[in-house]
Amino acid sequence: MKNILVTGGCGFIGSVFVRYILEESGFTGRIINLDKLTYAGNPENLLNFEELYKDRYIFVHEDICKKDALDKVFSNYNIDTVCHFAAESHVDRSIVSPEAFIETNINGTFNLLEASRKRLDKIKLFHHVSTDEVFGSLGAEGYFTETTPYSPNSPYSASKAGSDHLVRAYSETYGLPVTVSNCSNNYGPYQFPEKLIPLMIINAMEDKPLPIYGDGANIRDWLYVADHCRAIWQIMNNGEKGETYNVGGKCEKRNLEVVETICSLMDEAFPSKSGKSKKDLITFVKDRPGHDKRYAIDCTKIENSLGWHPVESFESGIKATIEWYLENQTWVDRIKSGEYLKWIDGHYNM
């Protein structure tokens, strides 16, 4: 691997991945970060990286839905490896406006696969970053394994399922060397405050209501983002071509429990002036349509075959996450005001 095309590297997980690769992994090649900079893409997540990592980090402001642009990027930068994060990623948005999800997640992935197929002799690996939501919803018992049938319930998870199938088909039909990871819910620094954990932290900072869908009994399996990035890098280096790997935190929690934990930690770290507990801000709201009840990952395969294990506990991970949001008020403010969206091709358009 010399020239890795990372798509969606200005998003939450993509930016943590790029930082991990350049700062910690020992990789000596080049990262080409291709990102459309939708509302979820924030160049401030990798501030100054072009100066810090001259020649080793290149940002390309592009859209994976543009086929010709992709061909140019593949040949200009001699791409030999793809790590594909770019996606529309929020379930609630997919319920309100599904079209962008079909465009980016299905057609965009198709375009990337086609660009890779045209250079089949040069591509060493196409790693596709996917989600456990493709498996649908679990009852009280059982876990998702790599052989669990797909049963997506939201436009988001259906579009990710479609992209997973295309990746598999390109491996089987054209011999494209692929790996796929299906990961559980991530949390940590740089997550856009539309997802449960950062939304609750930021609302709690401002003493705003903390909206919990339904009765708050839905369960997610939480994984600290750095653990996910290590898993992806392990798979890219040592995974078997054509295989999929489930990645999870072995950390099932009810939504209400997650929010109550955030409230307790915020009561210590950022108490309300009124003296009231942040728990008083919890507000039960109308449930999400098609709300999956429970996700839980069996990650035996990646543990046994690649020796990967989640290392961050929820207790330490959620503390670190809260500290990060409290210490990065400017990042938060610029997201809330929309300032971060003014970045155009190498400079801020103020």
Q: Beta strand pairing status for 81-84 and 210-213? A: unpaired
Task: Please count the residues of the chain.
Answer: 350
Region binding ligand TYD by CB under 6 A among candidate stretches 53-61, 99-107, 142-150, 209-217: 209-217
Interaction with ligand TYD in 277-316: which residues (CB under 6 A)? 288
Of ligand NAD, ligand TYD, none, which one sits near residue 213, judging by CB under 5 to 8 A according to partner kind? ligand TYD
Region binding ligand TYD by CB under 6 A among candidate stretches 2-10, 191-199, 308-316, 334-342: 191-199
Interaction with ligand TYD in 79-98: which residues (CB under 6 A)? 91
Determine the residue with CB nearest ligand NAD: 11
Angle between helical axes of 196-205 and 255-269 (0-180°, round to 10): 30
Smallest distance from ligand TYD to CB 118, Å: 33
133 catalytic, yes or no? yes
Contact assessment for residue 249 and residue 224, using Cβ atoms and an 8 Å cutoff: yes
Of ligand NAD, ligand TYD, none, which one sits near residue 255, judging by CB under 5 to 8 A according to partner kind? ligand TYD
Identify residue 284 by its one-letter amino acid code.
F
Distance, CA of 145 to CA of 298 (rounded, Å): 5
Distance, CA of 287 to CA of 59 (rounded, Å): 39
CB contact set of 203 (below 8 Å; sequence gap of 6+): 209, 210, 281
Could you tell me which residues are beta bridge partners of residue 84? 7, 128
Smallest distance from ligand TYD to CB 214, Å: 7
Task: Report the SS3 class of residue 115.
Answer: helix
| Residue 185 vs 218, nearer CB to ligand NAD | 185
Smallest distance from ligand TYD to CB 81, Å: 27
Give, rounded to a whole angstrom, the gap between the first and last alpha carbons of the chain.
38
Contact assessment for residue 195 and residue 156, using Cβ atoms and an 8 Å cutoff: no
Buried b (16+ CB within 10 A) or exposed e, 38-57: bebbbbbbbeebbeebeeeb
Of ligand NAD, ligand TYD, none, which one sits near residue 91, judging by CB under 5 to 8 A according to partner kind? ligand TYD
| Residue 116 vs 184, nearer CB to ligand TYD | 184
312 catalytic, yes or no? no
Continuous H helices in 33-129:
49-52, 67-76, 91-96, 99-101, 109-117
Size of the site for ligand TYD (CB under 6 A): 12
Of ligand NAD, ligand TYD, none, which one sits near residue 38, judging by CB under 5 to 8 A according to partner kind? ligand NAD
| Residue 44 vs 260, nearer CB to ligand NAD | 44
Distance, CA of 281 to CA of 71 (rounded, Å): 50
Site for ligand TYD contains 185 (CB under 6 A) = yes
Q: Which of 57, 156, 295, 340 is catalytic?
A: 156
Q: Which residues are catalytic?
A: 132-133, 156
Give the interface with ligand TYD as residue ranges (CB under 6 A).
91, 185, 195-196, 199, 211-213, 218, 220, 255, 288
